[in-house]
Structure 1
Amino acid sequence: MKVDLLTAEIGSTTTIVTAFDKIDSKKPVILAQGEHYTTIDEGDITIGIEKALKHIEEKLGEKITWNKFLATSSAAGGLKMTVHGLVYDMTVKASREAALGAGGVIKYVTAGKMRHSHIKKILEIKPNLIFLAGGVNYGEEETVLYNAELLRDIPLDAPIIYAGNIAVIDEIKEILSNKKLYITENVYPKVDQLNVEPARKVIQEVFAEHIIHAPGMEKIEEYVDEKIIPTPAAVMRTTQLLSELYEDVLTVDIGGATTDVDSVTEGDPEIQSIMIAPEPTAKRTVEGDMGVFVNAHTVIDLIGKHVLEGKFEKFDKLVKEISPYPKSEENEKFMAELAKYCFVEGIRRHAGKKKHIYTPLGRKNIAQGKDLTAIKHIFGTGGVLTRSKYNKNILTSIIGKYKKHPNELLPKNIKKIGYDRNYIFAPIGVISTIDKDIAINILKEDLKFFDI
């Protein structure tokens, strides 16, 4: 049997392959999914892909071939990055937004002139990519040139992206001529102006070029027909497609180790008028301490053991039995309780706040961070939000939270809550890189909404 398209989502623990057919029609078909643990530790990622393909063939009862194969990856440690800018609340913030939105895993951040201790730290991290910025266009030059000179001598092969003051591009090229250097637009071209999308695109291109050289990933080229993109970047692309369909949207992806929140919204005009610093329209945050498997014990501590002991009679037994695949009704309820905390807390951390400051003219209201008050559609993805029978209970737990936390810029008027019923937000994102219309048609078939 020949299928139109296969996608592989290569995670740190699991590889999921999805077979699609009739992709040129208004109602594309998701034929089957196969999964297997990711075989990066065995030195060859394609072993897991082969096993996941066999899983699909068992479900369909016949061998398959395909027209196209696409992939996303967060294996091999994902896209490890270090970020270096001038002022923390300006160029560093803009650089972080670009890196996170592109699916980067930010391991280290510096502001101002770098020191030798910073270089030592970078060497310990061994990033896949170094992101250098600093200075508005035609503004301060000295710091970014100084930092470039320090990075020139660093004994690492990691490529460097420069997204700073355009006035010093020629000097940057000369200083870093011994490095693989990519130049893109300034992420902070003017005071209070973010310009993160060009940098996000370059980060993804660099990821695609270099991921295939990661240990265990070398044979992936035998399968894929297009560039691999980071899985978090693919989910962000799907969130941007959701925004084209539903305007102000929020996506929460709860995994075993992290909770990712993506939002696409300009916010409320009234709140925008009191914002003290710009925010990107499309924003991603990652909560590295909140997940329902690897970080389950951290979440238990955040909720409070006494709280959970009051809700679950067999608390100690349930803690011992934590697994990515709950084996009993009680195990699933327990995981859902942890996921509910990750969901609400992830959105709260993503959201900005209203504050009061005192000026010579008296008290003034300001807002800082991402304004989610205009969000009307919320979507869930990731294992627990896709597959748990308690996903409605988790996803609707954010409703009304703005009343409890009046100074937080949380969604106020939620119209619809839905989820990724086939666990394909990442595949949809990578499909959109080659054909947006096909991706949108698959997305429409995939979404399931709750009555709220």
Structure 2
Amino acid sequence: MKADYIIAEIGSTTTLVTAFDFSGELPHVLAQGKGYTTVLEGDVTIGLKQAIDDIERQIEEKLTWDRMIATSSAAGGLKMTVHGLVHDMTVKAAREAALGAGGIIKMVTSGKMRASDIRRIKKIQPNLIMIAGGTDHGERDTALFNAELIREADLDIPVIYCGNVANQEEIREIFEGKELYVVDNVYPRIDELNVEPARDVIQNAFENNIIKAPGMDKIRDMVDGAIMPTPGAVMQATKMLYEMIGDVIVLDVGGATTDLHSVTEGGADIADILVNPEPKAKRTVEGDLGLFVNSKNVIDLLAERDLEGLTKEYVTEHIRAIPESDEERECSEILCKKAVELAVARHAGYVKRLFVGKNSFVAYGKDLSKVQYIVGTGGALTRLPHGREILEGIKYRGEDISMLPREDAKIKIDTMYIMACAGVLSLEDEEAARKLLEFSIH
């Protein structure tokens, strides 16, 4: 059997490979196979071959393909540290750029770094270091100080500079001979974010360096096309969805984390009272909200009303990585509903009344009130029986000012669980990626 593309999603524990045929009017999934991710064995291609062998057992013939592309969260994913000037300004902007590209933020500093910060970076061993700081032609010294400190540490870690444009020449001199990416300032002017150029560069840096990660060094023996961080691929797909259907949020509830991607500018009424700017495309990662690895965290957060007559002890006893019985699915859904509720509450902003005059308000955070579509992806929301009902529960049905999605937002499910596939595919064939999204999301 011949596939146009096979797309691998290399997770921390499982490698999923999907074979696609795009020759017809509609995309066709030929087969999907699974294997264990074999980074710890020192060679990720072992798991890739296992997943392809699984496909060949299903189709009972040899599988061939024109091109193989991949997303990966294995080998720790895209670990980054972020270093800026003011926490609520340049640091926040750099962090938004990193998260939107699929980064896992392991450390954030504001102001001038110290020797203890360098020691932490050495311990973390990130894939990328991001230096920001200063609006264009504004404060210069902090970013240069931090760059010198990082250079003197001789860390052999790629650096992305996305701060004050006036520093670019000196930054290049400081890191001469080292792997350096210089990009437009993420915070060029007060109250203005410019995160997309940095996100594109982070993707390029990831693809250049993923082959150096332990266990990933042989990935190019099989993957001859694009490689993206899995969360970055989902964000890419979310941005495509925005172009196709309008303002959208995408929720992905996993075993360890819950990710929320939103692409919306919000409403003009909120923008007028917003204290700090927010990116149009935003991603948040709730590292404590997972249905298996972090299930205890979610269970601890359950209130009596969440338990639907059950006990926390009962729920704990019936949590499985892949729920199979009705009781296990019921308990997973209780956790999934809570994870979704908390992830949306943390991602969305809030409005605060000021007691300085009648009808005085200020807004903080991301405005989701103009979202037209709420999409569920990932194993839990696409495979549990009541994924749509869980997503219905996040809508705001009151009359007060709120930054939550409204009652008229429509619910859709990524029925084939292919958003990450579509995201990485869009780098090579955007038309095929759009067809894939249209086919799966309804």
Bin the TM-score by the shorter chain: over 0.9
Q: 1:24 to 1:269 in 2, by over 3 A?
A: farther
Equivalent of residue 416 in structure 2, options 422, 425, 448? 422
Counterpart in 2 of 1:379? 375
Q: 1:310 to 1:336 in 2, by over 3 A?
A: closer
Q: 1:358 to 1:137 in 2, by over 3 A?
A: farther
In the alignment, the residues of structure 1 paired with residue 270 and residue 407 of structure 2 have an alpha-carbon distance, to the nearest angstrom, of 15
Matched, 1:236 2:232: no
Deviations 1:139-160 (A, max 9, x none): 1111111111111112421100
Match of 2:360, SS?
Answer: strand
In the alignment, the residues of structure 2 paired with residue 89 and residue 179 of structure 1 have an alpha-carbon distance, to the nearest angstrom, of 30
Q: Tell me how far 1:408 sits from its aligned partner.
A: 4.4
Counterpart in 2 of 1:365? 361
Counterpart in 1 of 2:178? 179
The unaligned stretches of length 5 or more in structure 2 are: none
Q: How does 1:254-293 map to 2 (within 5 A)?
A: 254-293=253-292
Q: How does 1:123-134 map to 2 (within 5 A)?
A: 123-134=122-133
Contact kept in structure 1, 2:206 and 2:229, CA below 8 Å: yes
In the alignment, the residues of structure 2 paired with residue 307 and residue 327 of structure 1 have an alpha-carbon distance, to the nearest angstrom, of 25
In the alignment, the residues of structure 1 paired with residue 309 and residue 386 of structure 2 have an alpha-carbon distance, to the nearest angstrom, of 16
Counterpart code for 2:310? F
Counterpart in 2 of 1:354? 351
Matched, 1:195 2:191: no
In the alignment, the residues of structure 2 paired with residue 27 and residue 409 of structure 1 have an alpha-carbon distance, to the nearest angstrom, of 37
Counterpart in 2 of 1:120? 119
TM-score for both structures, normalised by structure 2: 0.96
Q: Tell me how far 1:175 sits from its aligned partner.
A: 1.5
In the alignment, the residues of structure 2 paired with residue 410 and residue 301 of structure 1 have an alpha-carbon distance, to the nearest angstrom, of 25
Aligned-residue Cα RMSD (Å) equals 1.7
Deviations 1:197-223 (A, max 9, x none): 000000010110111111111111011
Number of residue equivalences: 442
Q: Tell me how far 1:302 sits from its aligned partner.
A: 1.1
In the alignment, the residues of structure 1 paired with residue 92 and residue 102 of structure 2 have an alpha-carbon distance, to the nearest angstrom, of 16
Counterpart code for 1:403? G
In the alignment, the residues of structure 2 paired with residue 110 and residue 357 of structure 1 have an alpha-carbon distance, to the nearest angstrom, of 31
Matched, 1:333 2:330: yes
Deviations 1:77-135 (A, max 9, x none): 00110000011111001000000000000011011111112112112111111000110
Counterpart in 1 of 2:18? 18
Q: Tell me how far 1:37 sits from its aligned partner.
A: 2.0
Q: Tell me how far 1:310 sits from its aligned partner.
A: 6.0
Q: Tell me how far 1:168 sits from its aligned partner.
A: 1.4
Matched, 1:319 2:316: yes
In the alignment, the residues of structure 2 paired with residue 30 and residue 354 of structure 1 have an alpha-carbon distance, to the nearest angstrom, of 45
Contact kept in structure 1, 2:397 and 2:407, CA below 8 Å: no
Counterpart code for 1:444? E
Counterpart in 2 of 1:146? 145
TM-score for both structures, normalised by structure 1: 0.94
Counterpart in 2 of 1:104? 103
In the alignment, the residues of structure 2 paired with residue 402 and residue 390 of structure 1 have an alpha-carbon distance, to the nearest angstrom, of 20
The unaligned stretches of length 5 or more in structure 1 are: none
Matched, 1:388 2:388: no
Contact kept in structure 2, 1:322 and 1:331, CA below 8 Å: yes
Q: Tell me how far 1:393 sits from its aligned partner.
A: 2.5
